[in-house]
Structure 1
Amino acid sequence: MTMSTSSLDILPVEILHHILDNLDIQTILFSFRYVCKRFDSITTSYNYYNFNFESISKTRFLRICHMIPFEQVVSLTLSNRDKTHGQILLFISLFDINHFLRLRSLTLIRIEANDLKIFLDYTIHSSLISLSIDSQTLNISKNPVLNLLSSTIEHYTLQKLDLNMWPKNMQELQWPINCTISYLRIQNSITLNQFYIILQHSPCLQTIILKDFNANDTNENISTYLNPTPSLQLRSLICEGGRMQMDKLEPCLSLTPALVYLKLIGSGNLFNSSFDGYRWEHIIKNKLPLLEKFDFFVSVFTHVNFDTSYIEQIISLFQTSFWLDEKHCFVICDYIIYIHKVILYSLPICTSHFVYYSDKNKVSASNFTINNNNNSIMMDNVKQLDIYLSKVIDTDEIEDVSYLQFQNVTELTLAIADKWPEGSFKFLSTTINLFNIVKLSLSVNFSYEYMPSIVHSINKLLKYAHNINILSLFDYWAPDDYRTSIETVCSMITPNIKHLHIRVKNSDDIKFIIENFKHLKSITFEHAQNFIFTNGKFVEYLPVMKRHVSRWENQYALHVWLDNN
């Protein structure tokens, strides 16, 4: 036993438990517990297990399932996403959820309606504090599931709720009269009526996150709520990924005078005041007197003859003492020339998904002086970054960069139209912290002409960014032009890659990948439109598929959850 292991072994149980709190379940059961007998004993008695199965091989999932100490699990995450398709149904076949007596947090991702009913029957009698449901199944309304969900929301212990459902189901969901939820996230559009009802029936609600307010809502819909009671408990309102409609937002903000934080991310309109700093100043002064922080990221596509001088006019309305001295709000407005798009955003940037445009491709204006000291932390919230490499590489810009602009990006998408641009690796390594990247998506030109430089460059990137374990490979051109041999493309799949998303030409390509990459945990196959195969006979046709869980997402995509370690 090494000195470091001996020192760790003598630590008090409380400290070791705290270490376990910060380890994933696979590390605990397959590494930590085998260090020594004491660690094995500690893992056996540990009472705060978080079983997160979002990214796991089928083989390890089954091994862990034989080791689950039901009474010691406080958090459970099950997922039917591409990487672990079929997991929830397999879990149900193995266990009775009612055996998890101490469960406080439950997350269900891409769950089907019939499976959801089983879990909701459990939740209304449980002591759950946090519940997250992602169910995009069509037409689950008019069945007991929505009634069970309503009863769950009303459950006295529930404090945190995250819902992502089919829009029609959200509209038909009856919000209970009294609930204890303090944090609510709805990843759909909701009507103004629903927003009012949620506020009135949720006396403990402090944070609400939603997409936007339904554009189909009309004045007739809200006629019964002309004088609703303002909500004095709500402190934080976030709308992200939807449409910013001032005629919908203003009535809602009138009902939330106690807000201290407001964040808006979505598409706006140059003519409905969503870009109007003066209008926003008026709204905040008159409707949100307690607001401490306002974050926003608004974009809109313009006509091809857009007058770029309008960018300066937009920024001029954010140069008042209200924005600069009182709110300390730094604002930038960019016009992206080649796609005719206006983006207005506050800093530090509040969106987690960002598309990078170089200075040569945009016209910018700001209400402050931009320098390196400002920029060094302005992009820290960005987790997903998209870069069209063919349009951003500029040698002079690379030389001038003295800091990593994107420190916390974990998902990187690169697009290259022809050959891999010279200087791109230097640009990426001086712009992004590549060691944090775990997912890489590539849209590149896999033609014979460019293949040698592309294979070399991708392998160099993967070798340097060695924490990447999810790889998506796509031909930049239309699927019918996909001519490259699968062996050449697969030369870029390193042992670090555990999850693969790839376009294939035929069933032989699928067989080749499954049989030659035993280290993969899951694969999503997309195929060209001229590759036609009857879905129902596919598994039978390929014997190599019979031992795996697979599902057709649509006519052109097959998800496989592998039995590999």
Structure 2
Amino acid sequence: MFKSITQSHLIELTIGILTFNEYQTILQYCPYLRVLVIDDCWINDTDQNSTIKSYRQLISLTLKFTNRSITQLEYLLLLTPSLTELKLINSPLTPNSLINGSYWEIFIKTKLSSLIKFQFVFYQLVLRTYECNGDVELFIIPFRTSFWLEEKQWFVNCQSIKSSHTIQLYSIPFSINSYDYNFDLGNILLSTSIKKLNHSFIMDHVRCLSLNLTEIKTKQILKKNIKRDDFLFSKVIELNISVHGEWPIDSFYFISILVDLLKLQKLSFRSDFDQSTIDNLIILVNQAFNIHSLSLLPLNMDEQYNTTVTNLCSIVSLHVKHLTIKIEKLDDMKIVIKKLKHLLSISFNFPSDRKINSHEMIDWLINNGQNFTYLEYEYFLHFWFGLQTLT
């Protein structure tokens, strides 16, 4: 299907999951392609037994969420020996470990000799909890050779995440734009970098941060166990927070040292929404006055809020222009639209066990002189509003 773009001089391409044959077809029929970003490439035993042809036009390749084994990736990469940039991110749940510094060193030396930039985030599930540095050191030792530290100057961090029984090894700086924050006093973090790098530099590429404040509270590490210079995600513009139960003490302080509140543009919040949480969330939204998109959803979409829709509306400041909220009945939508006339769009989510009569809602909006367009899909009704306001 790519034959038609042979003469299009396509230089960059971003696409989802490919088969190995499709990957080869792209390389064959896109002779000017320099940059390719894919989610993953499916490779089977038959593919690995086929004849390999090299395509030297590609200089940058990214696999954003691969489940391939290290030998499958080797076969894939043999097609593009001229790569100067390579980014590999494997799934946290994959059974295939890519944490093998010795293997990558030999392969890059012999097959990817032009490689200048190698970014990666590798995960490996482990069967036991690592209690000491020596356990984690076994994973990072192969990345301490002169090839990594002197010739290429590619430094890595290696972390054992106790709660998920996972080893995470990544190049510095962290190369994914989203990050699930997991701070546990039992975690072990080692680095091949000789000089101490501050957390802000390591996480410089992160734009979306997710954190569970309840987990952090139960581990008793708020405020007293962290330092502002060590745990700052300075470039984050999107923040996803979940809280189960009461708003944890000192959470506002904790959030303020993780991110620059003035840079936040999007906030997604999932909670039981008791009054304490609502009061603190109002403060947070008002402090982060550049937020234009706000999502307020319960932890379980099939459960109700522990508050009224009117109380939820009190969280939505005037600087917020786009809202996502769950509703139980038609009257809830009317309340939101009446109280928050400044919004440019609203996404209403409703439980899977019921259906909202969208026609009745649309008629109500028309009768009230509202200028709008809408999209309805399964358990979701989205409205975009014009300049007119309700009378």
| Map of 1:125 onto structure 2 | none
| Map of 1:8 onto structure 2 | none
Deviations 1:135-177 (Å, cap 9, x if unpaired)? xxxxxxxxxxxxxxx6xxxxxxxxxxxxxxxxxxxxxx65644
Distance 1:483 1:390, change over 3 A: closer
Counterpart of 1:381 in 2: which secondary structure?
A: coil
User: What's the CA shift for 1:426?
Assistant: 1.4
| Map of 1:429 onto structure 2 | 256
| Map of 1:250 onto structure 2 | 74
- Name the one with the larger helix percent: 1
2: distance between equivalents of 1:175 and 1:278?
Answer: 42
State which of 196, 207, 223 in structure 1 corresponds to 2:35: 207
State which of 68, 77, 87 in structure 2 corresponds to 1:263: 87
The amino acid of 1:250's aligned partner reads E
8 A Cα contact 1:192 1:222, kept in partner: no
Distance 1:178 1:315, change over 3 A: same
| Map of 1:218 onto structure 2 | 44
Counterpart of 1:220 in 2: which secondary structure?
A: helix
Counterpart of 2:144 in 1: which secondary structure?
A: coil
User: What's the CA shift for 1:336?
Assistant: 1.7
Equivalent residues, number: 378
2: distance between equivalents of 1:403 and 1:316?
Answer: 24
2: distance between equivalents of 1:202 and 1:553?
Answer: 37
8 A Cα contact 2:199 2:233, kept in partner: no
Q: Are 2:356 and 1:528 equivalent residues in the alignment?
A: no
Structure with larger RCO (C-alpha < 8 A, sep 6+):
1
2: distance between equivalents of 1:272 and 1:518?
Answer: 51
Contiguous gaps of at least 5 residues in structure 1: 1-149, 151-172
2: distance between equivalents of 1:319 and 1:297?
Answer: 17
2: distance between equivalents of 1:508 and 1:271?
Answer: 48
State which of 326, 342, 363 in structure 2 corresponds to 1:543: 363
Q: Are 2:318 and 1:495 equivalent residues in the alignment?
A: yes
| Map of 1:185 onto structure 2 | 14
| Map of 2:289 onto structure 1 | 466
| Map of 2:342 onto structure 1 | 519
Distance 1:295 1:500, change over 3 A: same
| Map of 1:352 onto structure 2 | 177
2: distance between equivalents of 1:268 and 1:431?
Answer: 23
| Map of 1:366 onto structure 2 | 191
State the percentage of identical aligned residues. 31
TM-score w.r.t. structure 1 length?
A: 0.63
Counterpart of 1:395 in 2: which secondary structure?
A: coil
Deviations 1:311-349 (Å, cap 9, x if unpaired)? 321111111111111121121122221222322111111
Counterpart of 1:376 in 2: which secondary structure?
A: helix
8 A Cα contact 1:311 1:335, kept in partner: yes
Distance 1:387 1:301, change over 3 A: same
| Map of 1:288 onto structure 2 | 112
2: distance between equivalents of 1:184 and 1:348?
Answer: 24
User: What's the CA shift for 1:456?
Assistant: 1.9
Deviations 1:417-468 (Å, cap 9, x if unpaired)? 121112112122222111111000001222xxx31x2122111111111100
User: What's the CA shift for 1:486?
Assistant: 0.6
What's the C-alpha RMSD, in Å, of the aligned pairs?
Answer: 2.4
2: distance between equivalents of 1:519 and 1:472?
Answer: 16
Distance 1:272 1:508, change over 3 A: closer
Distance 1:302 1:403, change over 3 A: closer
2: distance between equivalents of 1:463 and 1:209?
Answer: 38
Deviations 1:519-556 (Å, cap 9, x if unpaired)? 111111112344433xxx522355334453222222x2
8 A Cα contact 2:325 2:347, kept in partner: yes
